[in-house]
Amino acid sequence: MALRERLQAELKDAMKAREADRLSALRLINAAIKDREIAARGEGAGELTDADLTAILGKMVKQRQESARAYEEGGRLELAEKELNEIRVIEEFLPRQLSAEEVEAAIEAAIAQAGATGIRDMGRVMAALKGRYTGQMDFAAAGAAIKARLV
């Protein structure tokens, strides 16, 4: 089942079960996807792929993590908890995250595949990782690890 279809099915199930928090999170996901579709139409792009949807969901998780951190620092624990609940719902639709060992192995393989020897090759290594592991790893952390290896 395609990601978009899974989202729609889960939305209907949440409505039927009267799960207000889950329904709210699913509606936020749909709204973010609609916004991206409208922007893509303006750019002349076609339908969004599952990879595009995964990227949108990954971005939503990061935004909510930052918000939850800010709410916790500000003493607004009920709002932080709401953000964390939304993260849990969003992550149901993301691929499994790679472990630290798997990330290290993927970086080594990408460096070998790209034939990277210096920092100038970092873009090719990141492109290889993003092509294969979108939504499965934190690319900011991976970028730092790649940079440390190529220096």
Which CATH number among 3.90.25, 1.10.3470, 1.10.10, 3.90.1200 corresponds to the domain 100-150? Answer: 1.10.10
Residues listed for the chain: 151
**Contacts from 28-33 at CB under 8 Å and sequence distance 24+?**
28/60, 28/86, 29/56, 29/57, 29/60, 29/89, 29/90, 29/93, 32/56, 32/60, 33/4, 33/7
Which pLDDT belongs to residue 1?
57
For the chain, the maximum distance between any two Cα atoms, rounded to a whole number of angstroms, is 56
Per CATH, the number for 3-91 is 1.10.1510.10
pLDDT tens-digit profile, the chain (151 residues): 588 899 999 999 999 999 999 999 999 999 999 999 888 888 777 788 887 888 888 889 889 999 999 999 999 999 999 999 999 999 888 888 888 888 888 888 888 888 888 888 888 888 888 888 877 887 888 888 888 888 7
User: How much is the pTM?
Assistant: 0.72
